[in-house]
Amino acid sequence: MKSNQAKLYMIELFLILILFFALFASRIINRHVLAVIVVLFYFLIYKLFKKKEIVSIYKKQVMLLMVLFAGIYIGVFYLMGLYFGFVRSKVLFSLWAVGRFIIPIAVIIVFSELIRHKLLSQKEKIELYGKQFNLSLVLTYIAMVLLDLVIYTGVYDLTNIDDFLKALGFVLFASMSCNILYNYISIRFGSNGVIIYRLITVLYVYFIPFAPNVYLFFRTFLRMVYPYLIYVVLEWSFARSSFAIAYKDKKKSFIGTTIALVFVSMLVMLVSCRFTYGVLVVGSRSMTGALNKGDVVLFEKYKNQDISVGDILVFEKNGVKIVHRVIQIQDYNGMVRYFTKGDYNSSIDEGFVTKDSIFGLVKFKLKYVGYPTLWVRSLFE
């Protein structure tokens, strides 16, 4: 391994370790401290490695396109608000917001992208199983995903299971998708386009007094899919000849990406419970036999369908979603009461269920698929 390679990998690993520590030490490494760390890392990398500028005749065009893409992203997001409604922004523009959020986040974005560009421009590869492998690309990608997670640790409490899952879904998965695009643009066209796009799509929330009340999974889906659409436009606009030459290689990648997007789309629709069907993990043994702990149930949303004795309902009681079977139905002065019981329980549930608290009717189950979710939840109990 060359000395330049060794230095490059050591710097990237050191950055990953610091960011991993910062992920669980947000009280010590806040946004301001993180901004200072990122700036210092940039100047360290600038001194250690020679300047290898990525030359592209399309820099200005890509910069303008990224401004357009950022505008479209914000426009689509606010159009979704016409359906979901709007809420007042949590942080309004003020001198306090400028010092607390806008300046440190802007510094982190600008210098992290300069770091990305500098590291990726080195183009150092190692030989692995007889093939050239760009380890620096992978390490840089991991570092930038971690950096996104660190930025959001002030927003989500990672010691809370619900906030942990939000951070995992909205930040991690979306960040993984976005950083694939950012790496691609930085390598092909330089860092300016990415910097402009990120500044606009991240900081606009501090300048608009209201925001769409869009369900978390839809926001995650938008952030995951949109980078792929940008990539397709850039690839067809500025790399048509290479696209034609490498069509066979890209065809497999395109098919795989399409399948992944379809899967994510279906997952978002099911988990969000905003459409006809939803999913839920069985977390207790009260229905053992019909539904075991760790099973995932697919339920049809309740829209005044007929309910019979023997149907399995998904309903809410005391803030908890329950999956139990209907054993008796009573009509009391025009109000229908459903009495339920877990198949494995010795006694019926206390009280009764009304139509207002019913989420849906169980239609199907997938055995053991929900165990990873239960395992994550157990870590917080």
| Whole-angstrom distance, CA of residue 114 vs CA of residue 46 | 10
| Whole-angstrom distance, CA of residue 303 vs CA of residue 277 | 11
Per mean pLDDT, which range of 225-229, 249-253, 324-328 is the poorest? 249-253
The DSSP secondary-structure symbol of 342 reads -
Q: Which among 184, 97, 113, 180 has a CA at the least distance from the CA of 147? A: 113
Q: Who has greater pLDDT, 121 or 330?
A: 330
Pinpoint the alpha helices (H) of 24-97: 31-48, 59-84, 95-97
Element (H, E) at 185: helix 174-189
pLDDT at 313 over 90: yes
Q: Who has greater pLDDT, 9 or 326?
A: 326
Q: Which among 12, 322, 30 has a CA at the least distance from the CA of 153? A: 30
For tokens 């300047």, the residue is: 51
Q: Which two tokens stand for residue 309?
A: 């004795």
232-241: list long-range contacts, CB under 8 Å, 24+ apart. Answer: 233/65, 233/69, 234/62, 234/65, 234/184, 234/185, 234/188, 234/189, 237/61, 237/65, 238/58, 238/61, 238/62, 238/188, 238/189, 239/188
Residue-wise pLDDT tens digits, 74-100: 998 888 887 778 888 777 788 888 888
Q: Please give the pLDDT value at position 66.
A: 93
pLDDT at 345 over 60: yes
Taking residues 238-248, what's their average pLDDT?
47
Query: What are the residue ranges spanned by the domains of the chain?
Result: 3-212, 277-378
Could you tell me the end-to-end alpha-carbon distance of the chain, in angstroms, rounded to an integer?
46
Q: How confident is the model at residue 209 (pLDDT cuts 50, 70, 90)?
A: confident
pLDDT at 240 over 60: no
Q: What percentage of residues in the chain have a pLDDT greater than 90?
A: 22
Q: Three-class SS of residue 213?
A: coil
| Whole-angstrom distance, CA of residue 204 vs CA of residue 97 | 12
Q: How confident is the model at residue 174 (pLDDT cuts 50, 70, 90)?
A: confident
Average pLDDT taken over every residue of the chain: 80
Q: Which among 165, 216, 188, 186 has a CA at the least distance from the CA of 109? A: 186
Element (H, E) at 179: helix 174-189
Per mean pLDDT, which range of 94-98, 194-198, 247-251, 374-378 is the poorest? 247-251
Which amino acid, residue 47?
K
Please tell me the CATH superfamily of domain 277-378, with its number: Umud Fragment, subunit A (2.10.109.10)
